[in-house]
A and B are shown apart, each in its own frame.
Chain A
Amino acid sequence: AQSVAQPEDQVNVAEGNPLTVKCTYSVSGNPYLFWYVQYPNRGLQFLLKYITGDNLVKGSYGFEAEFNKSQTSFHLKKPSALVSDSALYFCAVETARQLTFGSGTQLTVLP
């Protein structure tokens, strides 16, 4: 069965600094990986996805993610964090049209 792990419940970073939100996955076959963001009292917003091809995926709002097959990781990154990036971030893997989510990481960007 597929699974996704987000090892950090909380990540704090200063505004202007680079940020990384970690994600590792376990899935048989080729992984289809996603990052979503959730703001308070809102649904999930799609950030980016990895299907195949280039290991560095660029997404919305300046975010990018690096797919590493040997480490089964798909970490979310941004070169310079903004206070407005503060939100709950979810990594997910899709199999059979079903998304399996990680537990989420609360990102707080400090001014």
Chain B
Amino acid sequence: KAGVTQTPRYLIKTRGQQVTLSCSPISGHRSVSWYQQTPGQGLQFLFEYFSETQRNKGNFPGRFSGRQFSNSRSEMNVSTLELGDSALYLCASSSATGGLNNEQFFGPGTRLTVL
């Protein structure tokens, strides 16, 4: 089985721009979660999608948004980029059939640099 894939792997943007990151989960997985990793704040949960619906959301401003398509692929969008948005953005998928405790499989991440 192919793992979680994220595109692009690296991005450079300037302040004020917007960016879209993509995540393809493991085949058969319906849950996709997004995390932000920075040296200062560590790993922080952004949001989780299941069957095209956002089920859970972390404590991030409205500039951060996402969506999930019918094939479970997910996109994350950040508008009006700020320098502090520079981070590694990780996507994770799980079977998450509604219960807890499903192992999350992580992709390699997208490294976003905001200049």
Question: Interface of A with B (CB < 8 Å)?
Answer: 32, 34, 36, 41-46, 49, 51, 90, 92, 94-104
Q: Once the chains bind, are B100 and A101 in contact (CB under 8 Å)?
A: no
B residues 73-115 near A (Cβ < 8 Å) are 90, 92, 96, 100-109
Q: Is B56 an interface residue (CB 8 A)?
A: yes
Q: Once the chains bind, are B103 and A97 in contact (CB under 8 Å)?
A: no
Q: Is B43 an interface residue (CB 8 A)?
A: yes
Determine the main DSSP class of A at the interface with B: strand
Q: Once the chains bind, are A96 and B106 in contact (CB under 8 Å)?
A: no
Question: Interface of B with A (CB < 8 Å)?
Answer: 4, 31, 33, 35, 42-45, 48, 55-56, 58, 90, 92, 96, 100-109
Q: Which residues of B contact A36 (CB under 8 A)?
A: 106
Provide the bound-state CA to CA distance between A36 and B105, in Å: 10
The 3 closest A-B pairs by CB, nearest first: A43-B106, A101-B43, A44-B106
Q: Once the chains bind, are B90 and A97 in contact (CB under 8 Å)?
A: no
Q: Once the chains bind, are A32 and B109 in contact (CB under 8 Å)?
A: no
Q: Once the chains bind, are B56 and A97 in contact (CB under 8 Å)?
A: yes
Provide the bound-state CA to CA distance between A45 and B105, in Å: 7
Contact of A97 among B44, B100, B105, B108 (CB under 8 A): B100
Whole-angstrom distance between the Cβ of A35 and the nearest chain B Cβ:
11
Residue on B nearest A104 in the bound complex, by CB:
B42
**What are 22 A-B contacts with C-beta separation under 8 Å?**
A32-B100, A36-B106, A42-B109, A43-B108, A43-B109, A44-B92, A44-B106, A46-B103, A46-B105, A49-B101, A49-B103, A95-B100, A97-B55, A97-B102, A98-B33, A98-B48, A99-B35, A99-B43, A99-B45, A99-B92, A101-B42, A103-B42
